[in-house]
A and B are shown apart, each in its own frame.
Chain A
């Protein structure tokens, strides 16, 4: 949700359809306004764009590169393709790697049925993971009074890190390590429950796309996240 201001209007094509955009609008914003589906994971309305998950990649005519729709501004005369066999395969590869890098067991997950990763895999028609599972031994941090951080389910989208800094202003959550060893941490990698910067607001839990951040006491399939408040908080900040 962005405030509409006076801006130059540009025209371009998405999937062969003529669309009009305000200057500086991203391909993703424009597609969503025109009801054109582009899959997203790390993107969330009300947070800054991060461009980390790459699931929203699109093709632009005249270039061999793939462009993340959430980070690429629409430009005059651009011809965007949001769905092709090539994109489908890249998106499956991304989902393959997300599912295989940690331990996602949908059937027993508290977020079963309310998970963006599970939803997207079904929506894109994924029926299996092609690469071998890594089966990493990762921790569950249940030290917080109300919440649990289960690294088994984390896809490193960093929505929690962004909402903690940008909206709550606490900057409790951060990122440590590289590659498959990357972890979401609290403060200087202490236990979440020991954090003296965490305000226990629960925003990170509600923006988390999977069962990585959940409320205590939920059983399989019971964790429903609420996110409708987020764009309004962002709008209030801008006033």
Chain B
């Protein structure tokens, strides 16, 4: 029945700080709820990405095989895809492993630095890809919102502009790092 827009958020390889910053819009989330339904998100108990979503915010870099397949599915079912935060835009901290081999990193984390139960997990956890890359190196991205994290004001501005059918102007709103 709803003529409301459909909003989704996706969490790839990030620290959830961008989602925290999204929640930091505080009571303005009611204004967002007037304009859109949050149909898929780590904050929503739904496991399957909906058929078509108007705006999807993506937090995090594409680091694992799961991320890689998920983002392609999300892209195919999203009208406006937003790279939210430095990990999605630049690979940021997840990308700091890129100069090293995946096996070397796993050895360091799970064998050399582990005191107890030294073993590299292979079940349940998705395998890491060779490098951690920005979202726009895998799929087309429509709007880029750098920042670690982007401020709540910036996120609210981007959301309200997009839900009003306008393209947000990022000049002067945010930057790499923050």
Contacts and interface: CB of A to CB of B under 8 A. Distances in A.
A, B bound:
yes
Interface of A: 99, 103-109, 112-113, 115, 118-119, 121-122, 125, 127-129, 132-133, 135-138
Interface in B139-171: 141, 144-146, 148, 170-171
B95 A133 contact: yes
B99 A129 contact: no
Contact of B145 (A105, A109, A127, A133): A127
A107 B100 contact: no
Contacts of B83: 128
B16 interface: no
B131 interface: yes
26 contacts: A99-B90, A105-B92, A105-B95, A106-B175, A106-B176, A107-B86, A107-B92, A107-B148, A108-B96, A112-B177, A115-B177, A118-B176, A121-B175, A122-B175, A127-B144, A127-B170, A128-B90, A128-B134, A128-B141, A128-B146, A129-B90, A132-B137, A133-B90, A133-B98, A133-B133, A136-B99
Contacts of A118: 175-177
A54 B170 CA distance: 25
A127 B146 contact: yes
Interface of B: 83, 86, 89-93, 95-96, 98-100, 131, 133-134, 136-137, 141, 144-146, 148, 170-172, 174-178
Contacts of B89: 127-128
Contacts of A121: 175-176
Given A127-B145, A128-B146, A129-B134, A106 B99 contact: no
A128 B144 contact: yes
Nearest to A106: B177
A137 B176 contact: no
Given A106-B148, A128-B89, A135 B176 contact: no
A106 B89 CA distance: 12
A122 B133 CA distance: 21
A107 B178 contact: yes
Given A125-B170, A128-B89, 5 more contacts: A115-B177, A122-B172, A127-B144, A129-B134, A132-B133
Contacts of A119: 175
A108 B90 contact: no
A136 B96 CA distance: 10
Nearest to B88: A128
B2 to A, nearest CB: 31
A205 B148 CA distance: 26
Contacts of A122: 172, 174-176
A172 to B, nearest CB: 27
Nearest to B144: A127
Contact of B98 (A104, A108, A113, A135): A135
A136 B131 CA distance: 12
A137 B177 contact: no
B86 to A, nearest CB: 6
A125 B176 contact: no
A107 B170 contact: no
Contact of B93 (A107, A127, A133, A135): A107
Nearest to A109: B177
